[in-house]
């Protein structure tokens, strides 16, 4: 596995923890509880724990794929195995996939801002502001994005202390009885919980930018462990706070819980939470978008990354300005969910099997 990335563009191995965890904690943290409860009910936190374990297996498959690529990334693996033409086509498909996930995060955060804070401001105004921020960060390169990912994990983590405050309102009977649901119910909750862990697959693109990649792998596993712990903790607190019947009808459970927190100098604490959450959303947006741009650049070397970035951001702007109806949001959410599940649980295992065959051939 040879990397053609210059050393001055690489980042330290421990930063893989922040890169992976930051992509796994985006806008879904604010709404996932009402989705996962559809299957195993108040026992759905066990499904999150199970998905977290499965993600470690998928991550090991991901690393095995990278070891068999000429440049240490998925893009070179495609061309090594499928040839320049079809491999290039697959790289473009991957670029569309990452761009779509970035668009989903972009669109959903703007939706949150309009619903909870500024209902009188139009989507195109928010879009314009976020586009300027995203352009500035992504055009700065991978190291700039990594810095944002670092602070996007550190600073918002202090907001998680609010979970301790919410425990004062806990009703332990909401979690009982345990294990009253069947395996099919847990499977439904696992399927709903899986999108929470989307994002670590971007390592297939940026892994050559990590120094001493053998040491970095442990940080990747630690990131998945931390993400699992975080989601299980939030889920349990939410289930202690809301009854199952009420939770099923709440679109934004996390924000609804946060709303009860009132400080002497601040009545609407959820406003601070939402604005600070921009630091969480921004790394997800930028890492996905950077991965999409690199996928295009690898396939079409002559194209300038800046032009590709402008093209993607133009699509983001038009989508949020013209297609702001709820039916388009629902369609985008379903496309992201199904494509992500297919990529992680279908395509990565398939490439892993191909990498094993490639190893035997060599």
Q: Tell me, what's the pLDDT at 11?
A: 92
pTM for the full predicted model: 0.92
User: Using the 8-state DSSP alphabet, how is residue 255 labeled?
Assistant: H
Q: Which of 21, 24, 106, 22 is nearest to 332 (CA)?
A: 106
Residue 359's pLDDT band (cuts 50, 70, 90): low
- State the chain's mean pLDDT as an integer: 87
Residue 271: how many CB atoms within 10 A of its CB? 14
* Alpha carbon distance 116, 270 (integer Å): 8
pLDDT tens digits along 219-235: 999 999 999 999 998 89
Q: By mean pLDDT, which of 135-149, 317-331, 337-351 is the weakest? A: 317-331
Residue 272: how many CB atoms within 10 A of its CB? 14
CA–centroid distance for 26 within its chain: 6
Alpha carbons within 13 angstroms on the beta-carbon side of residue 139 total 14
* Alpha carbon distance 95, 73 (integer Å): 14
pLDDT mean over 254-279: 77
In the chain the domains, ranked by start, together with CATH numbers, are 7-343 (1.20.1740.10)
Alpha carbons within 13 angstroms on the beta-carbon side of residue 156 total 26
Residue 267's pLDDT band (cuts 50, 70, 90): low
- 3-class state of residue 69 by DSSP: coil
Q: Which two tokens stand for residue 289?
A: 């978008």
Q: What is the DSSP string of 280-315?
A: HHHHHHHHHHHHHHHHHHHH-TTS-HHHHHHHHHHH
Contact 266, 125 (CB under 8 A): no
pLDDT tens digits along 181-202: 778 888 999 999 999 999 999 9
pLDDT tens digits along 13-44: 999 999 999 999 888 888 888 889 888 888 88
Q: Is the pLDDT of residue 284 over 80?
A: yes
- What is the sign of the dihedral through the CA atoms of 66, 69, 70 and 75? negative
- 3-class state of residue 11 by DSSP: strand
Residues of the chain above pLDDT 70, percent? 96
Q: Tell me, what's the pLDDT at 362?
A: 46
Q: Provide the terminal-to-terminal Cα distance of the chain, rounded to the nearest Å.
A: 14
* Alpha carbon distance 287, 223 (integer Å): 16
* Alpha carbon distance 71, 88 (integer Å): 15
pLDDT mean over 151-176: 78
Q: Tell me, what's the pLDDT at 310?
A: 95
* Alpha carbon distance 117, 25 (integer Å): 21
Q: What is the DSSP string of 218-249?
A: HHHHHHHHHHHHHHHHHHHHHHHHS-HHHHTT
Q: Tell me, what's the pLDDT at 178?
A: 72
6 vs 317, which has greater pLDDT? 317
Altogether, the residues listed in the chain come to a count of 362
């Amino acid at each position: 596995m040879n990397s053609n990335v210059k050393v001055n563009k690489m980042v330290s191995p421990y930063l893989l923890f922040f890169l992976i965890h930051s992509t796994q904690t985006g806008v879904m943290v604010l709404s996932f509880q009402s989705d996962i409860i559809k299957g195993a009910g108040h026992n759905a936190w066990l499904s999150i724990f199970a998905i977290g374990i499965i993600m470690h297996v998928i991550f090991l498959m991901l690393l095995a794929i990278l070891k068999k690529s000429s440049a240490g990334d998925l893009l070179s693996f495609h061309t090594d195995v499928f040839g320049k033409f079809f491999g290039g086509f697959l790289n473009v498909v991957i670029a569309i996939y990452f761009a779509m996930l970035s668009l989903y995060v972009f669109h959903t955060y703007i939706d949150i801002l309009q619903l909870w804070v500024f209902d009188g401001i139009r989507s195109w105004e928010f879009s314009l502001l976020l586009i300027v921020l995203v352009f500035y960060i992504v055009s700065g390169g991978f190291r700039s994005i990594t810095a944002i990912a670092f602070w996007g994990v550190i600073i918002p983590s202090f907001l998680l202390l609010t979970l301790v405050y919410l425990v004062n309102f806990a009703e332990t009977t909401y979690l009982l009885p345990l294990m009253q649901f069947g395996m099919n119910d847990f499977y439904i909750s696992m399927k709903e919980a899986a999108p929470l862990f989307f994002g670590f697959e971007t390592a297939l693109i940026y892994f050559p930018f990590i120094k001493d990649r053998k040491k970095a792998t442990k940080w990747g596993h630690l990131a998945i462990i931390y993400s699992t712990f975080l989601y299980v903790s939030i889920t349990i607190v939410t289930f202690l706070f809301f009854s199952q019947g009420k939770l099923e009808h709440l679109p934004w459970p996390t924000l609804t819980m946060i709303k009860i927190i009132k400080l002497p100098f601040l009545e609407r604490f959820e406003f601070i939470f939402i604005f600070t959450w921009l630091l969480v959303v921004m790394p997800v947006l930028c890492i996905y978008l950077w991965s999409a741009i690199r996928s295009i650049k690898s396939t079409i070397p002559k194209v300038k990354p800046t032009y590709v970035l402008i093209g993607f951001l133009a699509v983001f702007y038009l989508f949020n300005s013209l297609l702001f109806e709820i039916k388009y949001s629902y369609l985008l959410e379903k496309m992201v969910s199904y494509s992500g599940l297919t990529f992680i649980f279908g395509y990565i295992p398939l490439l892993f099997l191909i990498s094993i065959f490639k190893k035997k051939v060599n």
